[in-house]
Amino acid sequence: MKILMVCLGNICRSPLAEGILRKHLESLNLPHSIDSAGTINFHSGSAPDPRAIEVAADNGIDISGLSARQVNKMDFEKFDFIFAMDRNNYKDLTSLSTREQQKRIYLFLDFAGLGQKDVPDPYYGNKKQFEEVFELLDHASLQVSAKLLKNNSL
Ligand code: 4NP
């Protein structure tokens, strides 16, 4: 299955979510390809935010090689699951896609069974906010990977 994680800049939340969900899918031996993108192009070509790289590394995940890119129309055809980190990202994604394509776009925490909530944007925060986002994404990714495994075996 092909999965795309999406936030605003593709330097904080979605690269973390990509690295974390990849770890969970690998541990379940679930065949996948996973990528991330941002709704804006401001950081295109940049590595993840140093704070995101650091928090991931503290938890044994290397996201230092990732490079930011903007979502494009082909993504809506290419990916089976497109996960928005917050409701603004979700709105932006649905406004760019057709009704048929919208069926593959989900609010990440909602899909994880955690309610229609946003992954908070840590960009203007400090390391503590990044650590909290890591914990939230890790918890949600455990739920999401179990749900994807179940869907895959139906
Ligand atoms: P992200 O965080 O969407 O989690 O990557 C942000 C990155 C950059 C900006 C805002 C949020 N920015 O305003 O440039």
Instruction: Compute the distance between CA of residue 104 and CA of residue 31 in angstroms, rounded to an integer.
Output: 18
Domains of the chain, by residue range, sit at: 2-152
- What is the CATH code for 2-152? 3.40.50.2300
- What would you report as the CA-atom Rg of the chain, rounded to the nearest whole angstrom? 14
Check if 7 is active-site.
yes
pLDDT digits (tens, 9 = 90+) for 42-78: 999 999 999 999 999 999 999 999 999 999 999 999 9
The per-residue pLDDT for 46 is 98
pLDDT digits (tens, 9 = 90+) for 26-49: 999 999 999 999 999 999 999 999
The answer to whether 136 and 119 are in contact (CB under 8 A) is yes
pLDDT at 80 over 80: yes
What pTM did the predictor assign? 0.98
The per-residue pLDDT for 65 is 98
The per-residue pLDDT for 124 is 97
pLDDT digits (tens, 9 = 90+) for 93-129: 999 999 999 999 999 999 999 999 999 999 999 999 9
- Given the residues 12, 13, 49, 86, the one annotated as active site: 13
pLDDT at 154 over 90: no
| 9 CA from centroid of ligand 1 (Å) | 4
Residue 50's CB is within 10 A of a number of other CB atoms, namely 11
Q: Which residue minimizes the CA distance to atom 13 of ligand 1? A: 9
Confidence of residue 153 (pLDDT cuts 50, 70, 90): confident
Check if 13 is active-site.
yes
| 123 CA from centroid of ligand 1 (Å) | 6
Check if 121 is active-site.
yes
Instruction: Compute the distance between CA of residue 45 and CA of residue 39 in angstroms, rounded to an integer.
Output: 14
Which ligand 1 atom lies nearest to the CA of residue 89?
Answer: 3
The answer to whether 120 and 90 are in contact (CB under 8 A) is no
